[in-house]
Amino acid sequence: MRAEIVNLVKLEIVQAGHPVLRQHARPLSVAEIRTREIQKLIESMRAVMHEAPGVGLAAPQLGLPLRLAVIEDREEYHKDVSEALLKERERSPVPFHAIVNPTLETIGEESAEFFEGCLSVSGFSALVLRARAVRVTCLDEHGESKVIEASGWYARILQHEIDHLNGMLYIDRMASRSFTTMVNLAEFWKGKPVNEIKAELE
């Protein structure tokens, strides 16, 4: 394991079609999490996520089949989003943290459908139906046990990143007729209610 981290010269986000994105990532032991290599990897993942920019990044997106992801929904990302949309998405800032070896369970039966993008499916977006609330049991970046209960956009981010650890992409769950370039999303669909968009696409 250490060799695969140490020999990685530059972390780059891999795109759809790369085999690692379709693998089940392997878990990390507490001892591994606490190594200098994994701690350095977590910090590097944070930097790559910020540079992209994105709100989450999983190790497989960097070519590493490890059950590790980082998440951070920064307040600055919300400045160009309307209050109405933030409320509809139930979106608020989420501080930086890592999730390791996560298991996910849904809370309740409510679901929500919104456009999602992915740093490994660059330039595209689609409507994806997700559970509105989830519970995630995992280890944090220090190897400590943690239980996260989340709803709204945070729950969506968690589901998206955990999908990556199980070899899935949002395109496996999307409403296929809604698949669009980011350019066309901004031009034709930005700000429209999801129900109206779906009606136009039928």
Query: Judging by beta carbons within 10 Å of its beta carbon (0-12, 13-18, 19+), is residue 174 exposed, middle or buried?
Result: buried
Query: Exposure pattern of 153-169 as b/e (b: 16+ CB <10 Å)?
Result: bbbbbbbbbbbbbebbb
Residue-wise DSSP of 123-177: TEEEEEEEESEEEEEEE-TTS-EEEEEEEHHHHHHHHHHHHHHTT--GGGTB-GG
Tokens of residue 177, six digits: 């007729």
Locate tokens 């490994």: which residue?
Answer: 120
Q: How many angstroms separate the Cα of 77 from the Cα of each of 82, 163, 170?
A: 11, 23, 21
141 is catalytic: no
Among 72, 116, 141, 161, the one annotated catalytic:
161
- In terms of Cα–Cα distance, which of 174, 168, 170, 173 is closest to 23? 168
Residue 189's nearest CA partner among 110, 85, 93, 52 is: 85
Q: Which active-site residues does the annotation give?
A: 161
